[in-house]
Amino acid sequence: MKRIICFMLSVVLVFSCCIIVSAAEDDTPVIFVPGFIETIMGVNVDEYNEEQLWPFTVQTVVGKIASDSPALITLLAGLIFGNFDKLGARLGKDAEEVLHKLTCNPDGSSDYGIESFPQDPELCNVGYLSKHKSGKYLAMAAIAEDVASKTDPDRTFVFCYNSQLDSLELASQLRSFIRSVKEYTGSGKVRLCSHSYGGQIIAAYFYRYPEDRDIKKAVMIYPALAGTDAIKYILEADADVPFDDILVFVENLLSSPTEIEKLCRKDLFHYINEFASSGLAELAGMWRYWGSMYSLCSNEYYELLKEEFLDPVESAPIKEANDIIHYDMIPNLRRIFENCQSEGIDVSIISGSGIQECLGGDDNTDVLLPVKLVTGASCTKYGEHFCDGYEAKGSVCSNAKHNHVSPAMNIDASTAFLPENTWFVEGVFHGAYPNQDYTMTLIEKLLLTDDIEDVYSDPGYPQFGFSDNINMGISFSFDESKAGFISSDDNCLIIKNLNDIAPVKILSVTASGLDIKFDAVKTTVILPGKSVKIKFSGSVPEVKAKLTEISVKYVERASVNTLKRGFTVDNL
């Protein structure tokens, strides 16, 4: 009897160890699906020989500038007289001449056989790409290489594709690639991680092949699920660039508090719009018949642009595919993702927020994609907020215990495609996630572990977070409430210096609409990477869903800055 019991215990122990090892060493392959024009396109693209058209090679740019230098010098001189539009038109024309082989026929086909890097798992794994191409073909390089270092570079892949194609066609190619990766690795499933257009491609894959059971996880970073209004401005060559946001965008990408705006004159910025619009006008013909442009167009402007730029007969293939995307797929995104979850597929969405759209418009965006189109959430216009006392609509999540309204009271995620599995990070620009430690670690946790099941799993990653890019200078939150909230339990504001090199000096802290005062802080210096606590006096009113704006004025590298952030009073 004892032997039987010992044998059974041994079996249980071995089985338990197998489970632990399996959970700790998940070798499910990872496939990265990059964004629009994030992979190389060219003619006769293969491992050894190619005519690379996108992105520009250094030789191509230098050669074009040299051949066109007399005209460019004349146009540069004309900037003195404000002739920015002429320079923009010339550069746009030069770019069109370099990229003319990327022009499609009215039916979306190409006369040049445009390709991307081969969709061969043996060539598209990070181990091979890093070793043989020095990352040349490695789209989403920062996150791909980081994930590969934590798993296995040879089981981490990049799906390379032709960005001219509509998302339904690319979904078919993705399906083939997934099957190739499964065969190559011997794995039954894969994990997907996408950026921007890659997110819509994944959604199209789920839409088109609901019977497939190949996916374990899908993490979508700033996905262009329902497109963007920016396509209208691109095709119509009508740029209306918001000065402040674009300059901060550049600083954000540089991940440095360079204070570029101090080098620029705002009264000259309208010339930049002329420059951009005239350049776009010269390039408009190149991508007019790209199926992807219409896949990426928001539903609001799809009919308008289809009528304006596509011939009913000659462009029928482009219209046929994109009609399906806009009239059936996009309106059913919530059902598509809920079906994935019911099949055991973990789907997560990460969205940037709090920034005005770069080419015009007044939506709350990540500078390119409106939050409402990325996530399905209800949003106010940029710079606006819900009224005090606002209650979530609850059309998707009606659980009264779930607070899906952002601290800045400008996003209601209770209407989102996936309210429990969508994260919003304020101040994060489209494509700048590699410069955000907060966002990068969130992505990796969602993709590589089972630590985070939903937006309530980890207090360190609430549904509404904030950028920790060094360009932001500082970050702050109250000591007892979760990020973005304040209540009577709080005693002080914790301010962190995000710069790991230079100290910052706090000049003042104020709260609008609240009868609280912060201690004198003019002598408070925060060392690089460190935090300080600023106490306050007064009482927080016993109300719920009341917005207050906390403003911190500080000095960094002899520059005076003010960071304002919306907080919700949650004191009932």
SS (H, E, C) 249-279: HHHHHHCCCCCHHHHCCHHHHHHHHHHHHHH
pLDDT value of residue 7: 35
* Mean pLDDT, rounded, for 195-213: 96
pLDDT value of residue 24: 37
Q: Looking at the predicted structure, is the pLDDT value of residue 95 above 60?
A: yes
The confidence band for 238, taking pLDDT boundaries of 50, 70 and 90, is: confident
Out of 22-31, 371-380, 506-515, pick the least confident: 22-31
The tens digit of pLDDT for each residue in 491-500 reads: 999 999 998 8
Q: Looking at the predicted structure, is the pLDDT value of residue 178 above 80?
A: yes
Q: Looking at the predicted structure, is the pLDDT value of residue 244 above 90?
A: no
Angstrom distance (rounded) from CA 163 to CA 41: 8
Q: Looking at the predicted structure, is the pLDDT value of residue 513 above 50?
A: yes
- pLDDT above 90 coverage of the chain, percent: 59
Mean residue pLDDT across the chain: 84
pLDDT value of residue 405: 96
Chain centroid to CA 565? 21
Q: Looking at the predicted structure, is the pLDDT value of residue 47 above 70?
A: no
SS3 164: coil
Q: Looking at the predicted structure, is the pLDDT value of residue 94 above 70?
A: no
pLDDT value of residue 240: 62
Q: Looking at the predicted structure, is the pLDDT value of residue 185 above 90?
A: yes
pLDDT value of residue 377: 97
Radius of gyration of the chain (CA): 26
Q: Per the omega criterion (within 30 degrees of 0), is the bond before 459 cis?
A: no
C-beta separation of 160 from 118 below 8 A: yes
Q: Looking at the predicted structure, is the pLDDT value of residue 125 above 80?
A: yes
Angstrom distance (rounded) from CA 419 to CA 29: 27
pLDDT value of residue 419: 97
The confidence band for 23, taking pLDDT boundaries of 50, 70 and 90, is: very low
The confidence band for 204, taking pLDDT boundaries of 50, 70 and 90, is: very high
Residue 340 structure tokens: 């994935």
pLDDT value of residue 19: 32
pLDDT value of residue 361: 77
- 366 beta partners: 355
If phi > 0 it is left, if psi is from -120 to 50 it is alpha, else beta; for residue 227 that is left
Q: Looking at the predicted structure, is the pLDDT value of residue 484 above 70?
A: yes
The tens digit of pLDDT for each residue in 299-355 reads: 999 999 999 999 999 999 999 999 999 999 999 999 999 999 999 999 999 999 998
Give, for 290, the enclosing helix (H) or strand (E). Answer: none
The angle formed by the CA atoms of residues 332, 334 and 337, to the nearest 5 degrees, is 110
- 211 beta partners: none
Within 186-226, where are the H helices?
Answer: 197-208
Chain centroid to CA 54? 21
What domains, with CATH codes, occur in the chain? Answer: 30-39+117-227+332-448 (3.40.50.1820), 42-113+228-331 (no CATH), 473-570 (2.60.40.10)
C-beta separation of 309 from 235 below 8 A: yes
Angstrom distance (rounded) from CA 366 to CA 378: 15
